Chains A and B, each alone.
Chain A
Amino acid sequence: MSEPANPVSPEGPGGTLDHLDEITCLLYAERQLDRARAQAVSAHAQDCAACRTLLKALERESRLLTRAMLEEDEPLPSRLAEFQERARKSHQWISGLIFGLAATGVYALYTNFVEPWQQRLEQAGFGGTSLLSLLVFQGAFWKGWQSVITLLEVLAMLTVAGFGLVIFRRRLRRGSALALVLAGLCAALVLPPPAGATEFRKAQTAEVKQEETIKGDIYLSGERVRVEGTVDGDVYVLGKDIDIDGHVTGDVIGGCQSMRIRGRVDGNLRSAGNTGIISGSVGKNVTWFGDSVTVDSAGKVAGTVSMFGGNLAIDGQVGRDILFFGHEVGVNGAVLGSIWERGDSLIIASTGQVGGRIQFKGEQQANVSPGAKLASPVEFTQRERRSEYSTGHYYVWRIIWTAAFILLGLVLFLLLPKFASESVAAGERVGAPIGLGVLVFFGVPIAAILACITVVGIPLGLLTLGLWFFAINCAELVVGTVVGNWIFGRTTDVWGQIGRMAAGFVIVRIVYTPIAPLHVIGALVGLGIWMWGIGAISLALYKRLQPKVTGSSMGVPVAATS
């Protein structure tokens, strides 16, 4: 060992004899010096009364410390004396509770939510693509917005898989299991689409010229994008103005400010953007996230139109249904299937015709012209924000979801006990996590969307967005655990933390439920909880990424001589 100070100083320059420094005396007393140094110290101590006294004092101090620590000054607390028996009993009880909760949560998730939604979305033309076929047969996890249908299945599967991991974690090393899951997820995200060769074109005006024929998929990115030729595959497109005037045999998937389809798309059109105008034909379905979509008089969509946000005008023909969440639907043309709308208004002009049921939940009655041809009258439901909160159904669902969230929290605490504790500890500081939460809540989606703009950044952007969405779902759990800790006191025991999480989460839900219907206050409190939780998770993550402080920065004592 290299001691940090001189073990024995020789005679100094002035001819006076220096004393032993304290660290050397301590190391000698603790038998930590090598033989030669120990002999030198021993020889010095024989001649030096002060150093001898210091050595004696240090040894006496060691004995005093040992005695003080080993003395049995307090009996074993009764809580500990009974612990063994209680632990056995409480485990049986907890196991029963977990099983019950798990069964309730999974059953509620699947039968009451996943299954009906899956059926509804399939009816709406999203197409019966299962997660398995997406992963195995198509080879890519993300293939346009149709993957949205699988999100609920994924969440349910993750919960079940989490339980599986917890159960088998004694056999599996936790790190390798997590690494496997993450690696699988990353691989699924980055796997290239299967069909043929993929071409990339990025320019101010990216185009497929009229005489061109592209075999396989193509990625187009630019301020202006034009497809005038033929693409025998899918078109992935990102730009400000997009014109599809040619023929695309596969899907058109993209993001844009405005998109005009004047040509022919044999597959689906899936896009997010401001304005979409369909004057040509779409062979399958249209899914649009954005402000406005118009299927003009010459336009034809053979499948279903699903739209989230803004206005939808159908002047041409839609072969199947309309699924709409947004402001207004106007029908001047023909909808051969049903209309399912949750929005503000529905206008059906005299030239309009609807072949199926019309279910409309909105603020005001649908405006239907007398000349309109409807297969059945409009089934209108008045949308009242408060009514949702005044029905028993709403509260039953709150309880079911509370159980499901507690289940998720349980899985997370068992899978990542350390990180969960760190997140909760970060959440207890309140101010810092909320501040960071504001930043992360708004900043991460923007960064993820920016990452998606560059085509190679799409997997990274989507992964980030997915993690952000997941963190939002965990935010209330973190806040619940913090509240639980405030009420019941902190504990480092995982089961104690889970108990506090469950109790705190229920308390947060009980307090928040009557506040939720209050328009602005409800929204603000909800947002505050999200930001607090997501900030705490981000803070814990940030701390994890910081380099650890080691002992190498510690000071070295300097021997004083007398």
Chain B
Amino acid sequence: MEPLRPGPMSVPGMTETTEAVARARAGDADAWGELYRDFAPAIFRFCRRALPTREDAEDATMEIFMKLRDKLSQYDETRSFSAWLYRVAANHCWDILRRRKIRQDKETEDVEDVPLEHPDPSQLDKLIEQKTSEEVRHALQKLGARARMALVLRYYSDMSYDEIADALGVRRAFVGVVLLRARHELRQALEGKSALAAGGTS
């Protein structure tokens, strides 16, 4: 698989980021500006994919960077800054979605127990071939909160299954199941069917 983790818009070197983080920690406002300029576009896109509306994504991006001011002291400099930043963003967006969707999820939680229909390999291949990136983005907006979040964490942020399990609060063994259900929902949405009917019947 090709490397997935998106970098900042104008990718600075690792050293530059580390220096900027160190200066930001020391209270340097210009360093904050640098980090914001470098990473805000990628974080905004992440939020745009994960949250339902553009306004939500804008608000969330600002909140994540505000939060970053308090959390930067917790950052372990031996690890990748962008990976850590995505974790902060993922937790923030998931908190927002969970708060809003808790009622809706309760209403549809029985769908989780419906067995998934095994796809016809050739039909699936054909469906994927026909669809464009734009159509996929449009379909993503129709998915349930958890399905969309799972796909974004995996295919935008390139998070590992462990990281996804941690972010979504599910057992590691179920991450594959969550992703598979999300793909089924996405296919249904791409075919123009209700995302909630994605459980199908066997």
- Residue numbers of A with Cβ under 8 A of B are 1-4, 21-23, 26-27, 30-32, 50-51, 53-54, 56-74, 76-77, 79-80, 83-84, 87-88, 170, 421-422, 425, 489, 491-493, 496, 548-562
- 7 pairs, CB–CB < 8 Å, chain A vs chain B: A54-B119, A69-B45, A69-B137, A492-B59, A555-B113, A560-B117, A560-B202
Cβ-defined partner of A26 (8 Å) among B60, B121, B172, B180: B180
Q: Could you tell me the distance in whole angstroms from the C-beta of B166 to the nearest C-beta in chain A?
A: 11
In contact, B170 and A26 (Cβ under 8 angstroms): no
> Which of B1-9, B11-19, B75-83 lines the interface with chain A?
B1-9
Q: In the complex, A79→B58 CA distance in Å?
A: 8
Q: Please give, as numbers and ranges, the residues of chain A lying within 8 Å of B129 by CB-CB distance.
A: 60
Q: Could you tell me the distance in whole angstroms from the C-beta of A157 to the nearest C-beta in chain B?
A: 27
Q: Please give, as numbers and ranges, the residues of chain B lying within 8 Å of A60 by CB-CB distance.
A: 125, 128-129
Q: Does B33 contact A (CB under 8 A)?
A: yes
Q: In the complex, A325→B169 CA distance in Å?
A: 57
In contact, A32 and B174 (Cβ under 8 angstroms): no
In contact, B133 and A67 (Cβ under 8 angstroms): yes
Q: In the complex, A491→B57 CA distance in Å?
A: 11
Q: Please give, as numbers and ranges, the residues of chain B lying within 8 Å of A58 by CB-CB distance.
A: 124
B108-139 interface code vs A (CB 8 A; 1 in, 0 out): 01001111111101101100110101101100
Q: Please give, as numbers and ranges, the residues of chain A lying within 8 Å of B55 by CB-CB distance.
A: 489
Q: Please give, as numbers and ranges, the residues of chain A lying within 8 Å of B40 by CB-CB distance.
A: 76, 80, 83
Cβ-defined partner of A31 (8 Å) among B1, B61, B133, B177: B1
Cβ-defined partner of A554 (8 Å) among B70, B155, B178: B178
Cβ-defined partner of B177 (8 Å) among A84, A87, A550, A557: A557
Q: Could you tell me the distance in whole angstroms from the C-beta of B201 to the nearest C-beta in chain A?
A: 10
Q: In the complex, A552→B177 CA distance in Å?
A: 11
In contact, A556 and B177 (Cβ under 8 angstroms): yes
Q: Please give, as numbers and ranges, the residues of chain B lying within 8 Å of A68 by CB-CB distance.
A: 133-134, 136-137, 140
Q: Does B36 contact A (CB under 8 A)?
A: yes
Cβ-defined partner of B118 (8 Å) among A70, A74, A552, A559: A559
In contact, B171 and A551 (Cβ under 8 angstroms): yes
Q: In the complex, A21→B121 CA distance in Å?
A: 11
The answer to whether A61 and B183 touch (CB under 8 A), given A27-B176, A69-B152, is yes
Q: Does B179 contact A (CB under 8 A)?
A: yes
> Can you name the residue of chain A whose Cβ is closest to the Cβ of B202?
A560
Most buried by B among A54, A59, A551: A551
Q: In the complex, A492→B55 CA distance in Å?
A: 12
Q: Please give, as numbers and ranges, the residues of chain B lying within 8 Å of A76 by CB-CB distance.
A: 9, 40-41, 44
In contact, B180 and A557 (Cβ under 8 angstroms): yes
Q: Is the interface of B mostly helix, strand, loop or mixed?
A: helix
Most buried by A among B129, B174, B186: B174
Q: Please give, as numbers and ranges, the residues of chain B lying within 8 Å of A548 by CB-CB distance.
A: 169
Number of A-B contacts (CB under 8 A): 177
Q: In the complex, A501→B53 CA distance in Å?
A: 23
Q: Please give, as numbers and ranges, the residues of chain A lying within 8 Å of B28 by CB-CB distance.
A: none
The answer to whether A492 and B60 touch (CB under 8 A), given A54-B119, A559-B118, is yes
Q: Please give, as numbers and ranges, the residues of chain A lying within 8 Å of B168 by CB-CB distance.
A: 551
Q: In the complex, A64→B183 CA distance in Å?
A: 12
Cβ-defined partner of A57 (8 Å) among B54, B61, B121, B177: B121
Q: Please give, as numbers and ranges, the residues of chain B lying within 8 Å of A23 by CB-CB distance.
A: 176-177, 180
Q: In the complex, A69→B124 CA distance in Å?
A: 20
In contact, B62 and A32 (Cβ under 8 angstroms): no
Q: Could you tell me the distance in whole angstroms from the C-beta of A81 to the nearest C-beta in chain B?
A: 8
Q: Does B96 contact A (CB under 8 A)?
A: yes
Q: In the complex, A224→B59 CA distance in Å?
A: 65
Q: Could you tell me the distance in whole angstroms from the C-beta of A561 to the nearest C-beta in chain B?
A: 8
The answer to whether A22 and B118 touch (CB under 8 A), given A57-B124, A61-B183, A77-B54, is yes
B84-117 interface code vs A (CB 8 A; 1 in, 0 out): 0000000000001001000000000100111111
12 more CB-based (< 8 A) A-B contacts, given A70-B45, A493-B66, A557-B115: A1-B172, A23-B176, A60-B125, A63-B2, A68-B134, A68-B137, A74-B48, A493-B62, A554-B174, A557-B116, A557-B180, A560-B117
Q: Could you tell me the distance in whole angstroms from the C-beta of A528 to the nearest C-beta in chain B?
A: 24
Q: In the complex, A31→B161 CA distance in Å?
A: 10
In contact, A550 and B170 (Cβ under 8 angstroms): yes
Q: In the complex, A520→B2 CA distance in Å?
A: 71
Q: Please give, as numbers and ranges, the residues of chain A lying within 8 Å of B121 by CB-CB distance.
A: 50-51, 53-54, 57
Cβ-defined partner of B155 (8 Å) among A66, A170, A562: A66
Q: In the complex, A84→B32 CA distance in Å?
A: 8
Most buried by B among A62, A65, A83, A550: A65
In contact, A558 and B116 (Cβ under 8 angstroms): yes
The answer to whether A65 and B136 touch (CB under 8 A), given A26-B176, A84-B33, is yes
Q: Could you tell me the distance in whole angstroms from the C-beta of B70 to the nearest C-beta in chain A?
A: 7
Q: In the complex, A23→B184 CA distance in Å?
A: 11
In contact, A62 and B60 (Cβ under 8 angstroms): no
> Can you name the residue of chain A whose Cβ is closest to the Cβ of B96?
A492
Q: In the complex, A240→B64 CA distance in Å?
A: 60
Q: Does B191 contact A (CB under 8 A)?
A: no
Q: Please give, as numbers and ranges, the residues of chain B lying within 8 Å of A170 by CB-CB distance.
A: 70
In contact, A77 and B58 (Cβ under 8 angstroms): yes
In contact, A492 and B63 (Cβ under 8 angstroms): yes
Q: Does B49 contact A (CB under 8 A)?
A: yes
In contact, B62 and A77 (Cβ under 8 angstroms): no
Most buried by B among A56, A68, A489, A559: A68
Q: Could you tell me the distance in whole angstroms from the C-beta of A85 to the nearest C-beta in chain B?
A: 8
Cβ-defined partner of A69 (8 Å) among B1, B49, B54: B49
Q: Could you tell me the distance in whole angstroms from the C-beta of B11 to the nearest C-beta in chain A?
A: 13
In contact, B155 and A87 (Cβ under 8 angstroms): no
Q: Could you tell me the distance in whole angstroms from the C-beta of B12 to the nearest C-beta in chain A?
A: 16
In contact, A493 and B118 (Cβ under 8 angstroms): no
Q: Please give, as numbers and ranges, the residues of chain A lying within 8 Å of B169 by CB-CB distance.
A: 548, 550-551
Q: In the complex, A26→B118 CA distance in Å?
A: 12
Q: In the complex, A263→B166 CA distance in Å?
A: 70
Q: Does B26 contact A (CB under 8 A)?
A: no
Q: In the complex, A549→B170 CA distance in Å?
A: 10
Q: In the complex, A166→B130 CA distance in Å?
A: 55
Most buried by B among A60, A489, A561: A60
In contact, A4 and B62 (Cβ under 8 angstroms): no
Most buried by A among B99, B177, B186: B177
> Can you name the residue of chain A whose Cβ is closest to the Cβ of B60?
A492
Q: Please give, as numbers and ranges, the residues of chain B lying within 8 Å of A83 by CB-CB distance.
A: 36, 40, 61-62, 65
Q: In the complex, A550→B109 CA distance in Å?
A: 12
> Can you name the residue of chain B whose Cβ is closest to the Cβ of A548?
B169
In contact, B115 and A558 (Cβ under 8 angstroms): yes
In contact, A66 and B112 (Cβ under 8 angstroms): no
